[in-house]
Amino acid sequence: MAPRSTRERIIDAARAAFRWNGIAATPLDEVAALAGVARPNLYRYFASREELVRQVMIAEVRAVNVARWSRLTLSGPVGPLILESLVTGHELAHDYMANVTLVAEASAITAGLMSHDEEVAAAQYEYWGPLLEYGRARGEIAHGLSNERIVRWFLTNHVLVSERPALIPDGDVRSWFRDFVVPPVLASTGGNT
């Protein structure tokens, strides 16, 4: 395995520090120390703190994507696959970001970036694109809904259940996704959840 680049080491260090402290409470001095670089060198690789946070969010999305794909096989109706993807994504995001403060911060930042950042959107679509295209090929995705709108719908609900879990009755995220999030994206004759 090739040694990690300085940029990758900084991202890994930031991911770890953010998990411990939360994003807002993490000093860049700590990130630099964990990465084994002087703080001024951070700016050689990332133009700003915001850019580092953005790259960490992209790394987190991709880590969740890889873990979800390891658990999913594209076979059968798409509805149950979407449901499992949403539930697994929710669980993995919480596992990767064990700090409760970080979950809320990361959800809000990811939602903000998703609305206007092409690289963050691309990281989300790396997972959802093939799954939604599989469902379209089976005629199970509602006509008139673009993948972009569907992924934004999923992200909106992910942010809701991450930032405001008390709004979900009994904390039953699975039934929330099954009853209210998946059905609107399915064709009326599409796969059942």
C-beta of residue 142 within 8 angstroms of C-beta of residue 184: yes
What confidence category does residue 190 fall into, taking pLDDT thresholds of 50, 70 and 90? very low
23-27, 66-70, 94-98: range with lowest mean pLDDT = 94-98
Whole-number Å distance between alpha carbons of 80 and 88: 12
Q: Would you identify the CATH topology of the domain 1-46?
A: Arc Repressor Mutant, subunit A (1.10.10)
13-22, 70-79, 103-112, 130-139: range with lowest mean pLDDT = 103-112
What confidence category does residue 189 fall into, taking pLDDT thresholds of 50, 70 and 90? low
Query: Nearest 5°: CA angle at 113, between 109 and 117?
Result: 160
Whole-number Å distance between alpha carbons of 53 and 23: 8
pTM, 2 dp? 0.81
Residue 19's pLDDT is 82
Residue 99's pLDDT is 45
Provide mean pLDDT across the span 164-188. 90
Taking the CB of residue 23, how many other CB atoms lie within 10 A of it? 23
Q: If you count them, how many residues does the chain have?
A: 193
Rounded to the nearest integer, the mean pLDDT of the chain is: 85
The percent of residues above 90 in pLDDT, for the chain, comes to: 52
Burial 83-102 (b: 16+ CB within 10 A, else e): bbbbbbbbebbbebbebeeb
Report helix, strand or coil for 193: coil
The model's pLDDT over 89-124, given as tens digits with 9 standing for 90+, comes to 888 876 665 544 455 566 666 666 666 778 877 888
